[in-house]
A and B are shown apart, each in its own frame.
Chain A
Amino acid sequence: MIEPPTTVLEARQVTKTYPGDIRAVAGVDLSLERGQLLALAGSSGCGKTTMLKLINRLEETSGGSILYEGQDIATLDPVVLRRSMGWVMQGDGLFPHYTVAGNVAIVPRLLGWDEAAVTARVREMLELVRLDYAEFAGRYPDALSGGQRQRVGFARALAGKPDLLLMDEPFGALDPITRDGLQQDFMALQTQLGFSTLMVTHDMAEALIMADRVAVMRDGLIVQSGTPGELLKSPADDYVAALLETPRRQMRRIAELEA
């Protein structure tokens, strides 16, 4: 029996240039190990969302290569590639004319599963994201709260049993209590199902709490990559240090108040 490669995703010197010589991504190397969560952190406009979209080919690379399960994605059909990856986008991107069940069933249906399997999968996914099937399956997205919509977004992204989940600011639009609950639930879900995740976020605290490894991006380049502990111990430059300072200061202030 051949062991599957331990590296799910690998980016080698990836660049993306837009007309007018605008370099959004300027030579990025990344690697994501199976079952792990890699956070791509940085402030707005650093190129992290573009990098994410290069992976499921919503955008095409200008240079370098991306390997998914050992295969160069440029050689794969983009439609097939996207169906094999989960995708949780900024906002929630739910289809307003589909019910909750209809939204969750999209990828299994695109993959051609039979209806019994689709229904069973929808039920299973809603339970996993802790939404009661009887109560929520028939609702439309406009009858859900922000947290409930994002739970449906996770269920939809994972319904096709992807090996890799791509997430773009998935908790960005939520209030702090909802965000915290959902982050905990998500980590439990990843432990349970064993998929790998690449998450884009501008919130350093979120990256430190959730990620196995954090890659910090600035002006289209990775400036530092390591475990949360490594980053906290020795930030590579002032930019990384500044990003880490915000959660640190908040922690200190709370500790002082509690004392």
Chain B
Amino acid sequence: MSENFAERWAELPNLLSGHVLLSLAAIIVGMAISVPLGIYAASRPRLAGSVLNIAGVIQTIPGLALLALMVPLLGGMIGYWPAFLALMLYSILPILRNTIVGLQGVDAGVREAARGLGMTASQRLWRVELPLSLPVIVAGLRTSVVWVVGSATLATLVGASSLGNYIFAGLQTRNWLSVLFGCVFAAGLAIVFDQMIRLLELAARTRRRGLAGGVGVALALVVGLSVVPAMIPASSPAAVSATSESRASTGPATLAGQTIRIGAKAFTEQYILAALMQDVLEDAGATVERRDNLGSTIAFDALRSGEIDVYVDYTGTIWATVMQREHAAERHLMLAEMTAWLHQRDGILTLGRLGFENAYGFAMTRARAAELGVTSLADLGPLAGELTIGGDPEVFARSEWIGARDTYGLGAMQTRAMDSTFMYGAVRDGQVDLISAYTTDGRIAAYDLVLLDDPAHILPPYDAVILLSPRAAALPGLAEALGPLVGAIDGDAMRGANRRVDLDHQTPIQAAAWLADQIGDQ
């Protein structure tokens, strides 16, 4: 537990600064757009109606969807900019609305007095209308700040570092301390910013320069404390630097001076493999940056555009979602065809199979399967109307489920989408009858689940492969450094490592170290 805390603590400077820089920039730019727009629109009722409608529509798009949309809009770019753009758009409505409402709400008598005394339009704006609507505008700003700081946790999923890394990684690895870290710091940050803006407004209204100065200094201090530590290299996680130093002498430092970006999708196995590759590459002298918690297709797009250099994907996934093939192929043919296709179209290098497969399979508890007399998917057809299947939100849109459903006549089955963390527990406790399991998950053995046969070979093979971006493929030494991992991790080793995180509450770094020892023993 304390090691878990130390690891989380070591991640804080990087994640906190990412979060602060992202949300502050989004709010400042959002304000620079929405306040002038609100001023312009306030005296033009028809324009005010239209801009409020547009901003309102943006606001109703769920934060996650807006973030995800920015990736293709920016040509597959992941990381800071799509997250910034989405959050900036998100911040506009409350400020814009309150600017318009605040200005329109200034007392008509006061407005007329300002004209009658001989103020010009800009004097009326700056000396009378803005000061009198300031409390309303600031209220909008505070709403925006709370929204943006909260939504910035979702930026994790498009590859921008934020406190959301704690939440998503913690959810996937059942590390509740990590989830708690993310919640506490994100909420704390929102409260601190909100209160500071409140005090700044109070200072402006009551003309207390001392208070304004004090809050300004405090705000600068909070931003400074969040951002500066991340820029000092000495603050990199102590545990990691200790291990890489001890091994640095053994590996040939062929990657010295190179920065390699490793991507990972949002589940346990991916965190462990990313940590393992990080260890290997740092041994070879490279500086490693991590982009964790990427959405499945976002990870591939990021590799293609060079936002990340290397990550682990699965043949069946690429086959179905990238190559858009409808029918599965024999595993060796699939790997060969995929390797050629990726190289030809995108210049992506497929380094080779890691040695295990993480397929989609359909799993039931041994007891329930015996009770129903089920051993294969073909046995489920007649029972489909009485059964409920749980799965991650992705699977029900994928060809695996659609293919199996149509082939085995499972259309009458009730489907329940949930986060993959919870589905194993759900089938164990009988809340659903079967689930779409990942075949390497440690909980299959631990919960005594059985995988159902697929006599029609609908489910494609999912061999784990290391993919390199075109830039990484051309880097001398990179393929050599990762080479020893190819063929070195079998299904049992991967399940063991996954189990250490999902059930034994170890961290992915600890599990990666264990996995490295297994490889070394072979």
Q: How distant is B102 from chain A, measured CB to nearest CB, in Å? A: 13
Once the chains bind, are B116 and A87 in contact (CB under 8 Å)? yes
Contact of A96 among B110, B117, B118, B120 (CB under 8 A): B110
Q: How distant is A95 from chain B, measured CB to nearest CB, in Å? A: 6
Q: Is A241 an interface residue (CB 8 A)?
A: no
What 1/0 flags go to A142-169 for Cβ under 8 Å of B?
A: 0000000000000010000000000000
Q: Which of A13-21, A64-72, A77-85, A202-210 contacts B (4 or more CB under 8 A)?
A: A77-85
Once the chains bind, are B118 and A97 in contact (CB under 8 Å)? no
Residues 89-134 of B contacting A (Cβ, < 8 Å): 109-110, 112-120, 123, 128, 131-132
Once the chains bind, are A87 and B117 in contact (CB under 8 Å)? yes
Given the known inter-chain contacts A58-B112, A96-B110, please indicate yes or no for A106 contacting B117, CB distance below 8 A. yes
Residues of B within 8 A of A107 (CB): 117-118
Contact of B110 among A56, A79, A95, A110 (CB under 8 A): A95
| A-B residue pairs, 8 tightest by C-beta | A93-B113, A83-B118, A82-B118, A87-B116, A91-B109, A93-B109, A97-B131, A79-B118
Q: How many A-B residue pairs have CB under 8 A?
A: 51
Once the chains bind, are A82 and B113 in contact (CB under 8 Å)? no
Once the chains bind, are B118 and A80 in contact (CB under 8 Å)? yes
Contact of B115 among A58, A84, A95 (CB under 8 A): A58
Given the known inter-chain contacts A96-B132, A97-B131, A97-B132, please indicate yes or no for A89 contacting B123, CB distance below 8 A. no
Given contacts A80-B118, A87-B113, A87-B117, 9 further A-B contacts (CB under 8 A): A58-B112, A58-B116, A84-B118, A93-B112, A97-B131, A97-B132, A106-B117, A110-B118, A110-B119
Name A107's closest neighbour in chain B (CB-CB): B117
Query: CA A94 – CA B128 in complex, angstroms?
Result: 11
What 1/0 flags go to A117-134 for Cβ under 8 Å of B?
A: 000000000000000000
Given the known inter-chain contacts A96-B110, A97-B131, A110-B123, please indicate yes or no for A89 contacting B116, CB distance below 8 A. yes
List 5 A-B pairs, Cβ < 8 Å: A56-B116, A93-B112, A93-B113, A110-B117, A110-B123
Q: How distant is B116 from chain A, measured CB to nearest CB, in Å? A: 4
Name A106's closest neighbour in chain B (CB-CB): B117
Once the chains bind, are A94 and B118 in contact (CB under 8 Å)? no
Query: CA A96 – CA B112 in complex, angstroms?
Result: 14
Once the chains bind, are B132 and A89 in contact (CB under 8 Å)? no
Once the chains bind, are B116 and A95 in contact (CB under 8 Å)? no
Residues 2-18 of A contacting B (Cβ, < 8 Å): none
Query: CA A70 – CA B117 in complex, angstroms?
Result: 22
Once the chains bind, are B116 and A93 in contact (CB under 8 Å)? yes
Chain B CB count within 10 A is highest, among A79, A81, A84, for A79
Query: CA A96 – CA B129 in complex, angstroms?
Result: 11
Of the four ranges (under 10, 10 to 19, 20 to 34, 35 or more), the interface on chain A belongs to 20 to 34
Residues of B within 8 A of A156 (CB): 117
Chain A residues close to B by CB (< 8 Å):
56, 58, 79-84, 87, 89-91, 93-97, 106-107, 110, 156
Once the chains bind, are B118 and A89 in contact (CB under 8 Å)? no
Query: CA A97 – CA B120 in complex, angstroms?
Result: 18
Residues of B within 8 A of A82 (CB): 115-118
Contact of B109 among A84, A89, A106, A110 (CB under 8 A): A89
Residues of A within 8 A of B118 (CB): 79-84, 107, 110
Query: CA A90 – CA B123 in complex, angstroms?
Result: 22
Residues of A within 8 A of B131 (CB): 97
Query: CA A97 – CA B113 in complex, angstroms?
Result: 13
Residues of B within 8 A of A89 (CB): 109, 112-113, 116
Residues of A within 8 A of B132 (CB): 96-97
Once the chains bind, are A93 and B110 in contact (CB under 8 Å)? yes
Chain A CB count within 10 A is highest, among B118, B119, B120, B128, for B118
Query: CA A110 – CA B122 in complex, angstroms?
Result: 12
Residues of A within 8 A of B109 (CB): 89-91, 93
Q: How distant is A169 from chain B, measured CB to nearest CB, in Å? A: 12
Q: How distant is A81 from chain B, measured CB to nearest CB, in Å? A: 8
Query: CA A93 – CA B114 in complex, angstroms?
Result: 8
Query: CA A87 – CA B118 in complex, angstroms?
Result: 10
Q: How distant is A7 from chain B, measured CB to nearest CB, in Å? A: 23
Residues of B within 8 A of A80 (CB): 118
Query: CA A167 – CA B123 in complex, angstroms?
Result: 23
Residues of A within 8 A of B119 (CB): 79, 106, 110
Residues of A within 8 A of B117 (CB): 82-83, 87, 106-107, 110, 156
What 1/0 flags go to B122-152 for Cβ under 8 Å of A?
A: 0100001001100000000000000000000
Residues of A within 8 A of B123 (CB): 110
Q: How distant is B122 from chain A, measured CB to nearest CB, in Å? A: 11
Query: CA A52 – CA B123 in complex, angstroms?
Result: 23
Q: How distant is A255 from chain B, measured CB to nearest CB, in Å? A: 39
Query: CA A83 – CA B114 in complex, angstroms?
Result: 11
Query: CA A94 – CA B115 in complex, angstroms?
Result: 12
Residues of A within 8 A of B112 (CB): 58, 89, 93
Residues of B within 8 A of A87 (CB): 113, 116-117
Q: How distant is A218 from chain B, measured CB to nearest CB, in Å? A: 25
Residues of A within 8 A of B115 (CB): 58, 82
Chain A CB count within 10 A is highest, among B112, B116, B120, for B116
Name A93's closest neighbour in chain B (CB-CB): B113
Q: How distant is B417 from chain A, measured CB to nearest CB, in Å? A: 54
Query: CA A97 – CA B128 in complex, angstroms?
Result: 8
Name A52's closest neighbour in chain B (CB-CB): B116
Query: CA A107 – CA B116 in complex, angstroms?
Result: 10
Q: How distant is B137 from chain A, measured CB to nearest CB, in Å? A: 14
Residues of B within 8 A of A94 (CB): 110, 113
Once the chains bind, are A95 and B113 in contact (CB under 8 Å)? yes
Query: CA A83 – CA B117 in complex, angstroms?
Result: 6
Query: CA A90 – CA B132 in complex, angstroms?
Result: 20
Q: How distant is A56 from chain B, measured CB to nearest CB, in Å? A: 6
